[in-house]
């Protein structure tokens, strides 16, 4: 099983195991050891499903959460609580970091979410390229930009 990347903040005040609980004092939401293990297992399974280069990341913040990361791409599950500390995954959102903003898309399957986010990014890129070309031609026409 892949070791999850742990959240770097609050490392000086990590979650503490007390019986079934696994929760940091700064959180105090009663996060459980079972919930933590479910997040780690699902994160590892999702990283494996998406293939080489995907890394799981698990963190605590009013519950245990996870995502998988590869370069500028991230995939996070949409989860629905079933009661207690149990949840089910009912979709995925893929995020592409295109600084300064993100492009994201949600679908039932992580691969579909990634594909749709990538198509959105391509459409945005094509539009940007068209605007760049038009503005560059204006700059050339006005003599603001020299060809080299």
Q: Which residues bind Zn ion (CB under 5 A)?
A: 23, 27, 29, 31, 60
CB of 128 to Zn ion, least distance (A): 42
Q: CA distances (Å), 10 to each of 4, 41, 66, in order?
A: 16, 22, 16
CB of 17 to Zn ion, least distance (A): 12
Nearer to Zn ion, 40 or 113 (CB): 40
Q: CA distances (Å), 135 to each of 124, 126, 140, 147, in order?
A: 16, 14, 9, 14
CB of 29 to Zn ion, least distance (A): 4
Rounded to whole angstroms, the Cα distance separating 30 from 124 reads 43
Nearer to Zn ion, 17 or 49 (CB): 17
Nearer to Zn ion, 53 or 62 (CB): 62
């Amino acid at each position: 099983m892949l070791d999850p990347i742990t959240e770097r903040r609050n490392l000086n005040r990590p979650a503490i195991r007390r019986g079934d609980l696994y929760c940091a004092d700064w959180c105090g939401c009663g996060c459980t050891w079972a919930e933590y293990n479910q997040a780690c297992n699902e994160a590892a399974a999702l990283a494996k499903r998406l293939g080489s280069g995907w890394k799981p990341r698990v963190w605590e913040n009013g519950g245990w959460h996870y995502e998988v990361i590869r370069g500028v791409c991230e995939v996070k599950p949409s989860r629905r609580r079933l009661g207690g500390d149990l949840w089910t995954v009912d979709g995925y959102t893929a995020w592409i970091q295109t600084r300064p903003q993100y492009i994201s898309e949600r679908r039932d399957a992580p691969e579909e979410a990634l594909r749709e986010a990538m198509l959105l990014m391509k459409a945005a890129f094509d539009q940007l390229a068209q605007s760049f070309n038009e503005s560059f031609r204006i700059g050339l026409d006005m003599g603001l930009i020299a060809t080299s």
